[in-house]
């Protein structure tokens, strides 16, 4: 069963036929969850200097909270996707977002750094499964030649979070304390639960679904290669983003109020990249992935030379953000290569990106601790992006037709 057949099966599980406007509202509800997730994932990086100071630890040590969240995503995505294979999509989405809300509020109340790390791990568990299921639902409601754009609409919630949610959480965190930033995420998650409850139609559980069928995705080499592209190739963005706040204040010497503006520029670039990627990838999927990796490589290489000037680094951060569209394209690629194990494969995409979210900050922190300076995260990113290009090349060698084929248009 390929992705187009899976989408048809999912559509049949929805007993109610939706109008185009209703489909847009469903996409909006699902995107709100992405907005909440994106806010907590990226705000944890922008608020790093503040909670590190609260707990009296160094910023590289504070990065453990970021890595803990990423580890939660990596573990939670496949485990939940397999164990909940026979759940209805709507019930699973509601459950995942409720759990997400609870543990973000607990993060805001954490009395020690150790407990914060634990709550960040637990907050990350629903992340990948939520996105995986939400994107399958979104793609099932549109023609196959618009799948990437539907996926992009869900991911747009995450990218818009980097434009609006993260800067707002950062500003409020500076004003009222970092704990308020995580409390806001809890409110956003509760709002998402309400929207899904009202707008996403009830669906029938797939009686043929099973743990064994979902685990079948792990037998497919092209699934692993696609995941490797994201896990390695995306790490450079996180290496730079995690330490951007301190780089801006300690190296570029911008005022503190400018820091959220630069993060906002990253988010605008990511939103633009996600939108454009949705259009390009529905026409030429794997060439689009190649173009994005080369784009990321170029701007990460320029980044270390830009940090001495506020205007220059702002432009470069915006350009790096455009590369964030890579996640949208790889999600669709997984739909194409996962066969009938769509839920697990879709969730694993976010495990892969959170491997990148753990790997990038860890390697960047090692470079900084070794004395190479805050800007060395750009060179760490270059190395990781080259790794992503290597896995892209191996994937093409294993599946040459993917370089030229595109999904057929439906009428």
Q: What was the pLDDT predicted at 258?
A: 87
Nearest to 92 by CA among 102, 107, 77, 104: 77
User: Which of the residue ranges 31-45, 72-86, 286-300, 353-367 would you say has the lowest mean pLDDT?
Assistant: 72-86
For residues 409 and 395, the model is more confident at 395
Give the CA count within 13 Å in the CB-facing half-sphere of 324.
Answer: 34
- pTM comes to 0.75
pLDDT at 113 exceeding the cut of 70? yes
Q: What was the pLDDT predicted at 10?
A: 47
Pull the structure tokens for residue 405.
């084929």
What are the tens digits of pLDDT across the range 355-365? 887 789 889 98
Give the CA count within 13 Å in the CB-facing half-sphere of 331.
Answer: 33
pLDDT confidence band for 13 (50 / 70 / 90):
low
On average, the pLDDT of the chain sits at: 84
Domain regions of the chain by residue span? 3-403
If you average pLDDT over residues 140-151, what whole number do you get?
A: 74
Q: What was the pLDDT predicted at 156?
A: 82
Q: What was the pLDDT predicted at 322?
A: 93
Q: What was the pLDDT predicted at 206?
A: 65
Question: What share of the chain has pLDDT > 70, as a percent?
Answer: 90
What are the tens digits of pLDDT across the range 283-324? 888 999 999 999 999 999 999 999 999 999 999 999 999 998
Nearest to 388 by CA among 343, 356, 365: 356
Question: What share of the chain has pLDDT > 90, as a percent?
Answer: 38
Place of tokens 């170029």: 298
What are the tens digits of pLDDT across the range 234-259? 898 989 988 898 899 999 999 888 88
Q: What was the pLDDT predicted at 4?
A: 47
Contacts (Cβ under 8 Å, ≥6 apart) of 13: 88, 89, 203, 204, 205, 206
- CATH class of the structural domain 3-403: mainly alpha
What are the tens digits of pLDDT across the range 254-267? 988 888 789 889 88
Q: What was the pLDDT predicted at 345?
A: 74
């Amino acid at each position: 069963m390929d992705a187009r057949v899976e989408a048809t099966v999912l559509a049949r599980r929805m007993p109610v036929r939706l109008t185009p406007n209703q489909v847009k509202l469903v996409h909006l509800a699902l995107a709100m969850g992405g907005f909440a997730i994106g806010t907590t994932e990226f705000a944890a990086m922008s608020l790093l200097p503040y909670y590190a100071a609260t707990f009296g630890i160094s910023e590289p040590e504070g990065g453990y909270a970021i890595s803990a969240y990423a580890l939660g995503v990596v573990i939670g995505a496949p485990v939940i996707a397999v164990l909940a294979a026979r759940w209805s999509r709507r019930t699973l989405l509601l459950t995942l977002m409720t759990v997400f809300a609870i543990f973000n509020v607990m993060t805001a109340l954490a009395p020690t750094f150790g407990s914060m790390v634990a709550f960040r791990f637990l907050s990350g568990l629903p992340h990948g499964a939520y996105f995986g299921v939400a994107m399958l639902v979104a793609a099932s409601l549109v023609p196959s030649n618009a799948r990437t754009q539907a996926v992009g609409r869900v991911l747009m919630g995450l990218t818009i979070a980097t434009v609006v949610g993260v800067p707002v959480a950062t500003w409020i965190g500076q004003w009222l304390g970092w704990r308020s930033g995580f409390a806001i995420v809890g409110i956003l998650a509760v709002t998402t639960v309400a929207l899904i409850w009202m707008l996403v139609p009830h669906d029938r559980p797939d009686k043929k679904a099973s743990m064994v069928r979902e685990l079948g995705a792990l037998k497919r080499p092209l699934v692993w290669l696609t995941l490797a592209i994201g896990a390695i190739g995306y790490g450079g963005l996180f290496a730079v983003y995690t330490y951007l706040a301190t780089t801006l204040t300690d190296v570029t010497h911008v005022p503190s109020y400018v820091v959220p503006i630069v993060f906002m520029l990253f988010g605008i670039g990511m939103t633009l990249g996600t939108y454009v990627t949705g259009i390009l990838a529905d026409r030429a999927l794997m060439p689009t992935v190649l173009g994005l990796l080369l784009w990321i490589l170029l701007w990460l290489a320029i980044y270390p030379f830009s940090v001495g000037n506020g205007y220059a680094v702002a432009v470069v951060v915006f350009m790096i953000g455009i590369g964030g569209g890579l996640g949208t394209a790889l999600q669709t690629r997984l739909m194409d290569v996962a066969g009938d194990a769509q839920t697990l494969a879709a969730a694993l995409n976010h495990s892969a990106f959170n491997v990148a979210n753990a790997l990038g900050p860890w390697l960047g922190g090692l470079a900084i601790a070794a004395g190479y300076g805050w800007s060395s995260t750009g060179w760490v990113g270059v190395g990781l992006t080259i790794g992503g290009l290597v896995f892209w090349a191996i994937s093409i060698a294993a599946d040459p037709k993917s370089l030229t084929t595109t999904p057929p248009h439906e009428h």
